[in-house]
Chains A and B, each alone.
Chain A
Amino acid sequence: MSAALPDDALPPVIEPGQNSSTITTEISAVTLERPTGWLWIIGLLISLALSGLLFVGFCWLLYAGVGIWGLNIPVAWSFAIANYVWWIAIGMGGTFISAGMCLARQPWRSSINRFAEAMTVFAVSVSGIFPILHLGRPWFFYWLFPYPDVMNVWPQWRSSLEWDFWAILAYLIVSLAYWYVGMLPDLATLRDRSPTLAKARFYGLLALGWRGEARHWMRFEQFNLITAGVAVALVFSVHSMVALDFSEALVPGWHETIFPPFFIAGALFSGFAMVLVLGIPLRRFYGLQAFLNDRHIVNMAKMMLCAGLFVDYSYFSEIFTAFQSMDRYDFAMTLHRLYGAYAWAFWGTILLNVLNIQLLWIPRVRRSHAAVFLIAIGVLIGMWLERFMLIVSSLYEGFVPSAWGMFWPTFWDLAFLAGSVGLFFLMFLLFARLLPVLSMFELRKLAHQGGSGGVERGGEP
């Protein structure tokens, strides 16, 4: 399709004339020399406030119980699980960009994979909070772990929640390792360019004494390449687990074979959206135009559109299957979803996840950073709505009409959602200030290989 679009006019991956020196100087300067901007400080204060709210909610939750949320029977899950799925899905995008496209040899990813990976780590950490806090007795969450206890009782391995536990665990650690190890050479750069001894020591410790020895690079690349492969496998397996959290149940609206691919597509969808939401301002405020330009934005936009189309197909097929199977309960559930008390969630999802992204077919829109930014925001909201819709509108009117009930969020439901956003941005802002936001060594390599020639385009779905 890209052939049909005048994307050939796109700038090269990195601005011509960039070489190791300039790359090193400019990017490390972002961390080492650039004075802390007031925008950054405001952002930090806001996210600190929200994180504070999250903490208060956390304490109150531990004291009073999950009853502070609007949960009930039949709707025993809602916001917390929606938040969890939403965040872990956002993480997916980062991993896919750094790992998947590394395997696919997409050089333009070099400019974005670092902060995309950071995004992954933070999103997964945030998402990990929810399954635990969501428990009735959070302090016993470790019972999901098969340690040799004096009760001689083990986890119940058939439960998708158990699978999910392992998935999150693996995913968090792997993405952390991949991110950190990949950052070593750049940390070394910062170490060696630190203006003060304190900074030098800080980065010196983090860099673990990286020296760029030929041997270092050899093992480093071996590790990176295989881990990239593993990470891709992980992306798909982890989100399949998340999908199974629902489809293992026999609840109409959950019990669907399409869920794993559906959730993976949704994950990439929201992940790409978040990368854009983070990348576009980052580029602007840190003057990284040389490394992040229209090409990256356009390519990301295309990938988001592509993932979005998969998601839209899933919506369609879900509804189609319901009507085609004419299973009494599935059918009823679909009608409730479309016209029931939570129809607004469904149609909101359609508006934001289906109609919204169709704008990206237009090249001009793709190139307008503002437009792409707004569309991406819309997608993020839409994906949250989708999770809410999937969970609540499947639960609230189940098999036995006498047990039908409604869910209404309480203040704390909203507080935890806002708080999680705050926590995520808190971590990301600190990252942007303290760690290399772009992968310098990869850009150097790219520059060295003449990547600045803009020979390859890539990334088109």
Chain B
Amino acid sequence: MLGLLAEFADAEQLRGAVLRARHEGYADIEAYSPYPVDGLTEAMGLRRAHVPFWMLLGAICGGGFTYWLEWYSTVVNYPINVGGRPPFSWPAFLPPALEMTLLWAVLAGALAMLIGNRLPRVHHPLFAVRAFDRATGDRLFLLLRVANSNLEARRAHAFLKTLSPLSISEVSE
């Protein structure tokens, strides 16, 4: 079994529950919500993710490479006299570099987001839980991962009960 899933109706409850659970020493927890809940990240004590960093990196690479390519192709590889303009017409070379800066940033960001979130993942134990369907609708969930032992499970179950969730369901592998 993967763990226990508690269902909540609103974001405050969930945030409280998360804080409680961590206070109780449940390290391995997950929170689910149908919309981004302010402060939930902090409550979960998650490290800030690095999507911005990857986007910056993408931007630099995209712009830099394009600008370099323009220089290489017009100055080094095949210099051609175009309308009497200097081979390295640096101002005229900015636009493509700019566009590539933006494009690569976004592509890098999208990848960072998906990979960071381990997506795509079309199969997940949670999907088997009937109640979890509403995690993308109107309900919020707290998942306690518990070791596969009756004792642990019962303890966790008892704890969840104290949070007065709408429901508690078992999540099996």
Contact = CB atoms under 8 A, between A and B. Distances in A.
Identify the interface centre among B31, B34, B114: most chain A CB within 10 Å of its CB: B34
Contact of A173 (B30, B103, B109, B114): B103
A208 B119 contact: yes
A154 interface: yes
A442 B35 contact: yes
Contacts of A226: 51-52, 55, 105, 109
Interface stretch (A215-223, A284-292, A301-309, A400-408): A215-223
A380 interface: no
A444 B113 CA distance: 22
Contact of A189 (B34, B77, B105, B126): B34
A25 to B, nearest CB: 8
Interface string A368-398: 0000000000000000000000000000000
B162 interface: no
Interface in A219-242: 219-223, 226-227, 230-231, 233-234, 237-238, 241
Given A189-B136, A209-B121, A445-B36, A167 B99 contact: yes
B61 interface: no
B120 A209 contact: yes
Nearest to A24: B137
A196 interface: no
Contacts of B95: 160, 163, 166-167, 237, 241, 244
Contacts of B126: 211
Contacts of B98: 237
Contact of B35 (A20, A21, A191): A20
B119 A209 contact: yes
Contacts of B114: 208
B96 A163 contact: yes
Identify the interface centre among B77, B93, B113, B123: most chain A CB within 10 Å of its CB: B113
A152 B74 CA distance: 11
A214 B31 contact: yes
Contact of A223 (B11, B78, B100, B109): B109
Nearest to A209: B121
B34 A441 contact: yes
Nearest to B49: A219
Nearest to A214: B31
B136 A181 contact: no
A188 B117 CA distance: 15
B29 to A, nearest CB: 9
B113 A193 contact: no
Q: Is the interface of A mostly helix, strand, loop or mixed?
A: helix
A210 interface: yes
Interface stretch (B20-28, B37-45, B146-154): B37-45
A219 B107 CA distance: 14
Contacts of B10: 448
A222 B52 contact: yes
A219 B53 CA distance: 12
Contacts of B30: 213-214
Nearest to A233: B102
Interface residues on B, range: 35 or more
B116 interface: yes
Contacts of A444: 34-35, 138
Interface residues of A, number: 65
Interface string A193-217: 1000000000011011111111111
Nearest to A173: B103
A160 B99 CA distance: 13
Contact of A211 (B52, B82, B135): B135
B158 interface: no
Contacts of B89: 157-158
A193 B34 CA distance: 13
A205 B100 contact: no
A167 B100 CA distance: 8
Given A213-B117, A442-B35, A188 B136 contact: yes
Identify the interface centre among B66, B107, B120: most chain A CB within 10 Å of its CB: B120
A189 B109 contact: no
A177 interface: yes
Nearest to A216: B117
Nearest to B18: A214
B13 to A, nearest CB: 12
B119 A24 contact: no
A169 interface: yes
B96 A157 contact: yes
A356 interface: no
A205 to B, nearest CB: 6
A56 B77 CA distance: 42
Interface of A: 19-21, 24, 146, 152-158, 160, 162-163, 166-167, 169-170, 173-174, 177-178, 181, 185, 188-189, 191-193, 204-205, 207-223, 226-227, 230-231, 233-234, 237-238, 241, 244, 440-442, 444-445, 448
8 contacts: A158-B82, A160-B95, A167-B95, A170-B103, A193-B133, A223-B109, A444-B35, A445-B35
The 8 closest A-B pairs by CB, nearest first: A208-B120, A20-B138, A154-B73, A209-B121, A170-B103, A163-B95, A444-B35, A222-B51
Given A181-B113, A219-B112, A238-B99, 20 more contacts: A19-B138, A20-B35, A146-B73, A157-B74, A158-B82, A162-B96, A166-B66, A170-B99, A177-B110, A185-B34, A188-B136, A193-B133, A207-B122, A208-B119, A214-B40, A226-B52, A226-B55, A237-B95, A445-B35, A448-B37
Interface of B: 10-11, 30-37, 40-41, 44, 46, 48-49, 51-52, 55, 66, 69-70, 73-74, 77-78, 82-83, 85, 89, 92-93, 95-96, 98-100, 102-103, 105-107, 109-110, 112-114, 116-117, 119-124, 126, 132-138
